[in-house]
Amino acid sequence: MAVAASTADVGILLIDAMRGTKRQTHRHLTVCGLMGVRHVVLAVNKLDGVGYDQGIYNELVAEVSDTARRMEIQSVIPVPVSALVGDNVLAHSPNTPWYHGPTLLDALDAAEILEDPSGEVRLPVQTIIRGKHFRGYGGLVASGAVRAGQKITVTQSGQQATIVKLHGLNGTQPTELEQAIPGESVTIELDKDIDIARSDLLVTGQPPQLADRYAADIVWMSDQQLAHGRSYTLRCGPLEVPATVTNVRHRLDVTNGNTMAARILEINDVGRVEIATARPVALEAYTDSRETGGFILVDRMTGETLAAGLTRFALRRATNVVPHHFEVDRQARQILNGHPAKVLWLTGFSGSGKSTIADAVERRLHSLGIRSFVLDGDNLRSGLNKDLGFTPEDRAENVRRVAEVARLMYDAGVVVIVALVSPFRADRQTARSLFEAGDFVEAWVDTPIEVAMERDTKGLYAKSKAGNLPNLTGVGQQYEDPESAELHLRGTDDVDANVSKVLEVLLPDADQ
Amino acid sequence: MSIDHETSRVLDALEAEAIWVFRETAAAFERPVLLYSIGKDSTVLLHLARKAFHPGPIPFPVMHIDTGWKFRQMYELRDRTAKELDLDLRLATNQEARDANVTPFSHGAQEFTRIMKTVALRAALDEGQFDIAVGGARRDEERSRAKERIFSLREAGHRWEPRNQRPEFWHTVNNALTDGQTMRVFPLSNWSELDVWRYVARENLEVVPLYFTQERPVVKRQGTWIMVDDDRMEFEEGEQPQMRRVRFRSLGDYPLSGAVEGEAADVYDIIRDIEVNRQSERAGRLIDGEGAMSMERKKAEGYF
């Protein structure tokens, strides 16, 4: 339903006059409004079943019109019909002498669905077209009319050029096209060579602002919950960028339009969230442009499409946060230190032996003259993360913060050892994505839960048994086994043997 | 007769979408391949691919899954088209089965199609390590295709899982592939048979002459006319070839493609005929009739 509405210009909402409006009626209308369907034809059906009663018809129309107005649907054209006998479907029916509006088909034909080509051009570059002595840019026009002679700006770089030609084929003969309007695929040639890649947004007039924080409404479609702090792939047309949901603001009750406080979103929920992208991008308000404002969120592990998102507004102009480029960088610090910066990420049950291994690894590194630091889950929870609990979404945020701190230390040239339960694959994947390939070593400290329970160094399993700890990993909450960890350690093995295994993978060149 | 303005606008929209699909296929995937079966849909598909990348060349190979039993006129058009357009044409055949003399007569329509098309297709896709294959299937063709996506995800082993398909919002494609997954993509998803013929007419495309009525040698089999295209034809008892004025609405292996009677001298006659009669073009195909939901089963096995 949301998918169909995302590209529809007109929706037909069918109401059963014998049964009245239902939750589903308002829900469908709300989704139409959210997804930008501007015209709705309201087919009040089965009027033959209520004796063609004008009063019932008017009542239903009024009920629906309220929701439509709230959802900013431009026009609602009500038509009294009977699908059974065909009243007012193709031709006006003598059964409804009180009705003088259009028939169902006329109402559809009357809807104004032409894209307005008068606005500024938005052309996301979909592909580079290469031929002999030719370089052109192909894309689907999102808005405005593309013509030869126009000066365009590349939003990401600010570079400018002039369109010299629109290439087309007339039948099988090469031809030059006059213009391309919204919804049409076009190939343009520019007057000079400038740096343009897939997903660059070509525009006329003032380029849209780049930003890396956005407020958006999202329709959550997955069985797994939305947890803030988790990293997804955001896709908008050809644009692809890692993105994190940093905050869930509220959930929308789609039947009445009320907002409700919420920290998570579940399947079929619609909610307002804040999103941070890994680099500044040019998302536009969905109400201005479906093509450059609508996006999807994709799970980085499974590839599942989790949500559809509708950009509302930029929260922070990226222009205010210009990362300063410092001369002394990680590379320079590594040379000074005489060893590479690395991250060892120890994951496993509470009591599996992560801290013990972390401690032993660090002592070995220290004796080898390697700068290191241990980020221990419990220690961090007493300070930086003391506001967080143990629900899946708090755990995601916990992992995100620890990963960011590890990232700073890694940039400082240090070998960082993280000891964190980090039970969810997606969170560990998010952490991994912050580091250069090869510098992040995931080590699964694999200890049978019975052994961890027996050890119960912190008394957590006893508490859990008494019912005081609902979210303990391995008991009340699942631990997702690593699938692609660089190291698989047995928590029951000799600690020194485990330390040697770690060093072989973490620092193969170190003199051990 | 010509194509009126309103119809042309519909064709423009379908064309723009198909070009977008082709470009996304080339830009967002590693190793695309275009499956070309020489029929009218393939002719339109190939033309759209040219348009999508003009004035550059089509940036991926074109593959024909050749059962060895296509009409001679189809082979003629295939080879001429490949030469004229300078296509990177690859031919894929289940050679083992061919050497073992698997024919439409020895194995029946369904088994022959499975061995020579589905198995050959899977093997060719695996061998070429193609992560996305473009096909000409349309949603209006058959019930199980109505729920098909434009970008259709296939699990390892080319398995089609209707429940794992991804929602398709706007012009945003989720191109993520994990664990042996591949993609099939159908740029003509939203076209009808009528759209295809109108487009052939508007763009003045050459199609196999078998779509137009001519006197041809045929035998009556299972209520339809089967053309005797070469001397490999095996006759059933009492069958005698006769000359009839027939044409084809859908082309495949000649012993399995049913012809219809009725005059159609050019594309406009075909268009008029479809506007009046609304029978499915696949009605003449012997392979679809075998067993309920046979297409759905074939798809699950990796057929289109």
Residue of A175, A305, A425 for testing the chain B interface, max B β-carbons within 10 Å? A305
How far apart CA B191 and CA B186 sit, in angstroms, is 10
Say which CATH number the domain at A144 has.
2.40.30.10
Q: Are A338 and A475 part of one and the same domain?
A: yes
Category of B179 on φ-ψ map: left (φ > 0), alpha (ψ -120 to 50) or beta: left
Radius of gyration of chain B (CA): 19
Q: Are A259 and A298 part of one and the same domain?
A: yes
Strand partners, B118: none
CA distances (Å), A442 to each of A290, A429, A502, in order?
40, 10, 10
Our answer to whether residue A422 is catalytic in this structure is: yes
- Residue with the two structure tokens 């170190």: A510
The verdict on residue A117 lying in a domain is: no
- pLDDT value, residue A44: 93
Q: Does A140 touch chain B (CB under 8 A)?
A: yes
| Residue range(s) defining the domain that contains residue A275 | 211-320
Of A110, A142, A175, at which residue does a domain stop?
A110
Q: Are A79 and A142 part of one and the same domain?
A: no
Confidence band of A324 (pLDDT split at 50, 70, 90):
low
ipTM score: 0.86
- Are the beta carbons of A126 and B167 separated by less than 8 Å? no
Residue of A3, A139, A198 lying closest to B169 (CB–CB): A3
- Are the beta carbons of B54 and A174 separated by less than 8 Å? yes
Q: What is the mean pLDDT of residues A451-471?
A: 82
How far apart CA A374 and CA A415 sit, in angstroms, is 9
| Residues in chain A closer than 8 A to B172 (CB atoms) | 235-237, 294-296
Q: Which CATH superfamily is domain B5-199+293-301 in?
A: HUPs (3.40.50.620)
Whole-model pTM? 0.77
Q: From the candidates A422, A464, A484, A500, give the one annotated as an active-site residue.
A: A422
- Residues 202 through 241 of chain A touching chain B, CB cutoff 8 Å: 221, 233, 235-238
Share of chain A above pLDDT 70, in %: 97
To the nearest 10 degrees (0 to 180), the angle between helices A495-506 and A354-367 is: 60
| Residues in chain A closer than 8 A to B27 (CB atoms) | 126-127, 198, 238
How far apart CA B146 and CA A334 sit, in angstroms, is 59
How far apart CA B137 and CA B134 sit, in angstroms, is 9
**Cβ distance A244 to A232 under 8 Å?**
yes
As a dihedral over the C-alpha atoms of residue B74, residue B76, residue B79, residue B82, rounded to 10 degrees, the angle is -70
- Residues 145 through 204 of chain A touching chain B, CB cutoff 8 Å: 167-169, 171-172, 174, 183-185, 187, 198
The shortest C-alpha distance from B200 to chain A (Å) reads 9
Q: Is the pLDDT of residue A245 over 50?
A: yes
| Residues in chain A closer than 8 A to B151 (CB atoms) | none
- pLDDT value, residue B291: 47
Radius of gyration of chain A (CA): 29
SS3 B102: coil
How far apart CA B5 and CA A495 sit, in angstroms, is 79
Rounded (5°) CA angle B275-B277-B283:
120
SS3 B54: coil
- Are the beta carbons of A2 and B167 separated by less than 8 Å? yes
Of A133, A168, A203, at which residue does a domain stop?
A203
Pairing of strands A75-80, A39-45: parallel
- pLDDT value, residue A38: 85
Share of chain A above pLDDT 90, in %: 50
- pLDDT value, residue A396: 82
What is the helix (H) or strand (E) element at residue A259, kind and residue range? strand A259-261
Residue of A2, A129, A198 lying closest to B53 (CB–CB): A129
Residue of A127, A296, A429, A483 for testing the chain B interface, max B β-carbons within 10 Å? A127
Of A160, A179, A203, at which residue does a domain stop?
A203
- pLDDT value, residue B19: 97
Q: Are A271 and A166 part of one and the same domain?
A: no
The shortest C-alpha distance from A188 to chain B (Å) reads 11
How far apart CA A342 and CA A352 sit, in angstroms, is 23
Q: Are A100 and A140 part of one and the same domain?
A: no
Q: Are A170 and A224 part of one and the same domain?
A: no
CB neighbours of residue A224 within 10 Å: 16
Q: How many domains does chain A have?
A: 4
The answer to whether the peptide bond before residue B55 is cis (omega within 30 degrees of 0) is: yes
Q: Are A157 and A222 part of one and the same domain?
A: no
Say which CATH number the domain at A378 has.
3.40.50.300
More confident residue, A327 or A358: A358
Residue of B12, B55, B169 lying closest to A167 (CB–CB): B55
Category of A329 on φ-ψ map: left (φ > 0), alpha (ψ -120 to 50) or beta: beta
Residue of B51, B166, B168 lying closest to A169 (CB–CB): B51
The verdict on residue A511 lying in a domain is: no
Q: What is the pLDDT of residues A403-436, one digit of tens each?
A: 999 999 999 999 999 999 999 888 888 888 888 8
Residues from B in contact with A at Cβ < 8 Å:
12-13, 15-16, 19-20, 23-24, 26-28, 47, 50-57, 59, 166-174, 176-178, 181, 203-205
Q: How many CA atoms lie within 13 A of A77 on its CB side?
A: 20
Q: Is the pLDDT of residue A361 over 90?
A: yes
The verdict on residue A263 lying in a domain is: yes
| Residues in chain B closer than 8 A to A235 (CB atoms) | 172-174
**Which residues touch A183 (CB under 8 Å, ≥6 apart)?**
A115, A140, A141, B13, B16
Confidence band of A215 (pLDDT split at 50, 70, 90):
very high
Q: What is the pLDDT of residues B7-35, one digit of tens each?
A: 888 999 999 999 999 999 999 999 999 99
Q: Are A417 and A477 part of one and the same domain?
A: yes
Lowest mean pLDDT among A26-35, A197-206, A387-396, B97-106: A387-396
- pLDDT value, residue B298: 64
- pLDDT value, residue A362: 93
Q: Are A403 and A451 part of one and the same domain?
A: yes
Residue of B50, B56, B172 lying closest to A295 (CB–CB): B172
More confident residue, B191 or A469: B191
| Residues in chain A closer than 8 A to B26 (CB atoms) | 127
- pLDDT value, residue B222: 86
Q: Report residues of chain B scoring pLDDT below 70.
A: 1, 278-304
Q: Are A491 and A346 part of one and the same domain?
A: yes
| Residues in chain A closer than 8 A to B169 (CB atoms) | 2-3, 6-7, 294, 296, 308
The verdict on residue A138 lying in a domain is: yes
Residue of A172, A237, A298 lying closest to B176 (CB–CB): A298
- pLDDT value, residue A172: 79
The shortest C-alpha distance from B296 to chain A (Å) reads 23
Alpha helices in A10-131 (DSSP H): 23-34, 54-70, 104-110
Q: Mean pLDDT over all residues of chain A?
A: 88
Q: Are A358 and A493 part of one and the same domain?
A: yes
**Structural domain boundaries of chain B?**
5-199+293-301, 208-284
**Cβ distance B131 to B158 under 8 Å?**
no
Q: What are phi and psi of B253, to 5 degrees?
A: -75, 135
Q: Are A52 and A93 part of one and the same domain?
A: yes
